[in-house]
Amino acid sequence: MNQDARWARPYFWRSDARAMLLYFVFGEFEKELKLDIGRHSSTGLPAGVMMHRFDKNLLAHWEGHPLRGALGDLLRGDDPETFKAARAAPECIMLRGELADPESLDYLRDTLGVVGALLDAGGRVVIDPQILALFPVDAWRERYADGGASIRAHLLILAHDEDDGAWVRTRGMRKFARPDISIRQVPQAEVERAGAIAMRLAELQAQGMRFVDGTALEAEGVPPGLIAHLRGSLEDPQFNNIHVEFIWPDA
């Protein structure tokens, strides 16, 4: 298969990190799965990503159940009807795995293609825990209408009010073996600009760029002094990933 430029990483600079993928597809499937992955431009799950199938009774006793705990509460509040449909599904198929920092994003395209084929084969709801989201079939297909090549479709941008300004951050960059972006002490009037900067930096990282600790960035409309600092750990509950921290400079 020829490399599609949409899945290239033109700024690739290898890291020691690993890309982690995790998706849950709830539904009712035939005993023998027959997936038309070619219809979704997939060559099959990449090495390191595995498919696990659970029936409802087995899943109910699993500690990592995505419909339980804090994540379950969040998903229920976000879309009660879709959450109910996931709870009612007799089966769940989990796609999970890690890969050494890949030179292209083909691994993501291929995995998304398997998710799409599972929806054709009886899937009803997809959960992406890395962006705290659940999708009914139509919403998933609309979001990934281009096959998932848009980096923005795989990320979540959050903004929180804090005593010293807004905190703008991403979630989902672990899919790309790159740290998430965190920008603190953002003036309220600059939250939209900070969100655009965070998304652009995330896109560049997904395309292979890496930050060096202490790197100074220049951004249009931002005073000098935007410095990258590598922080956190994979266990950080705010990101489930390490992150690059920036403090918004004073004017």
Question: Consecutive sets of 10 residues in the chain, 251 residues long: mean pLDDT of each?
Answer: 75 96 96 93 95 84 85 95 96 96 96 97 97 97 87 95 95 98 96 96 96 92 92 94 95 71
Would you call 237 exposed, middle or buried from its count of C-beta atoms within 10 A (0-12, 13-18, 19+)?
exposed
- Residue 247 has a CB neighbour count (10 Å cut-off) of 16
pTM of the model: 0.94
Judge whether 175 and 154 are in contact, CB under 8 Å.
Answer: yes
Question: What's residue 42's pLDDT?
Answer: 94
- H/E segment holding residue 105: none
**Token output for 23:** 């998706």
Quick one: pLDDT at residue 162? 92
Q: Give the model's pLDDT for residue 153.
A: 94
pLDDT for res 3: 53
**pLDDT for 2:** 44
Q: Which two tokens stand for residue 5?
A: 């430029």
Rounded to an integer, what distance in angstroms lies between the CA atom of residue 16 and that of residue 20? Answer: 13
Centre a 10 Å sphere on the Cβ of residue 113 and count the other Cβ atoms it contains: 24
Q: Which residues contact 241 (CB under 8 A, 6 or more apart)?
A: 171, 173, 174, 179, 180, 232, 234
- Spatial separation of the C-alpha atoms in residues 149 and 109, rounded to whole Å: 7
Whether the Cβ atoms of residue 7 and residue 42 lie closer than 8 Å to each other = no
pLDDT at 59: 75
Q: What is the pLDDT of residue 145?
A: 83
Phi, psi of 35 (to 5 degrees): -110, 130
